[in-house]
Homo-oligomer: A and B are copies of this chain.
Amino acid sequence: MLWFIGLGITGPDSLSARAQKIVSESDVVYLEQFTSPITDAETQKIRELVRGEFKLGPRWLVEDGREILETAKEKNTVLLSYGDPYIATTHIELRVRAIQQGIKTDTIHASSALTSLIGECGLHYYKVGKTVTIMSTIPSTTAYYTIFENLKLGNHTVVLLEYNQNKSFFLEPVAAFESLLAAEKEQARKAISDSTYAIVASRIGFPNQSITAGNIGSMLNEDFGEAPHTIIIPGTMHFTESDALKAFARCVDAPEDNTSKIQKISAQMMKKYVPMVRRALEQIAPHYKDTKEFASVLENAELYIRDAERFFEQGKDELAILSIGYADGLVDALRIAKGIEPEM
């Protein structure tokens, strides 16, 4: 038998009587420690609860899994972990292998920082998009694009920060902000800037929990205290969310809507191409005013510019881009044929 038991966000004190009984009566209890830090005091509390064998479960042991599975074949075994057990994909994989090997499994779920911190920041859970992690060792390109995609849809992004148990290393929020600003420099989608509004949720569930919010630029010199920290980049904020954030957090700057600061690529294109094609059309028209067969090409170009604007207003971004591209092609064909250089 293999139990997956979550310690929740406040550690062993949050175990229910039922969970305590299972832990206490099991033959072997592994305490997994690599997905989140567990203090010595908490470890000691768990140790005192266990009447069977108590073992620490470092990353290699849980990922390898063979010892735990062999033990669980013969004995009542518990894998205790911080938060809700299956947020860590390693635990899901271990459960799959247990089932495949005929070992009975069961689960006690617990509070997770991922749900808790949304509410603690006053945000609406159903508006949270895909979650990302920023690592110190790799550029945050993926995180950058995930935030951009979430913002385009108005969604909030939870940004998890690297934790390395072996090195007791936590990525600092400021390092994560710098990494995102570096990604902006490289990718240049205008998704992140000094004025991007961000929330840093520190030590959620701990007695010294604190939440700080403000523009990234204002927070680059902020000291957020001890880890763990999580960043949220909010999308559209309902007024009840802004009000809640103001009540729950220390706001260095007043809450601001990030989605009004970003522009979809399609919007950036329309802003550039609609006036550009209009100018090109005006420039080229006089050269063809006596050429009847080309006059209809120019009329078509004008119609397609208007179509592009209309489609864009209707939210049909792809059709808008296709139309402005087409109008540009019509005009440019005539320009190229006359050997006229485009005006800049």
Contact = CB atoms under 8 A, between A and B. Distances in A.
Contacts of A119: 84-87, 91-92
**Interface residue SS majority, chain A:** helix
A126 B120 contact: no
Interface string A133-171: 100000000000000010001010000100000000000
Contact of A8 (B109, B273, B297): B109
Copies of this chain, whole number = 2
A258 interface: no
A126 B116 contact: no
Interface stretch (A12-20, A36-44, A64-72, A213-221): A12-20
A60 B143 CA distance: 41
Interface in A238-254: 240, 243-244, 247-248
Interface stretch (A50-58, A190-198, A223-231, A332-340): A332-340
B122 A131 contact: no
A329 interface: yes
A54 to B, nearest CB: 20
Contact of A127 (B130, B273, B318, B329): B130
A95 interface: yes
Interface residues of A, number: 88
A84, A120, A205, most chain B CB atoms within 10 A: A84
Contact of A325 (B96, B266, B325, B338): B325
A338 B292 CA distance: 11
Contacts of A24: none
A304 B151 CA distance: 31
B132 A129 contact: no
A11 B266 CA distance: 48
B89 A124 contact: yes
Interface string A291-328: 00110110011001000000000000110011111111
Nearest to A18: B13
Contacts of A108: 10, 14
A61 interface: no
Contact of A247 (B18, B96, B110, B297): B96
A93 B332 contact: no
A110 B273 CA distance: 52
A336 B299 CA distance: 11
Nearest to A123: B92
Nearest to A156: B130
A6 interface: yes
Given A317-B318, A329-B331, 20 more contacts: A84-B119, A92-B119, A93-B244, A96-B122, A109-B111, A109-B115, A110-B111, A111-B112, A115-B115, A125-B131, A129-B129, A129-B130, A130-B155, A149-B153, A293-B337, A301-B329, A321-B325, A322-B322, A326-B328, A330-B332
10 contacts: A14-B19, A96-B122, A126-B132, A266-B318, A297-B332, A317-B318, A318-B321, A321-B325, A324-B325, A333-B334
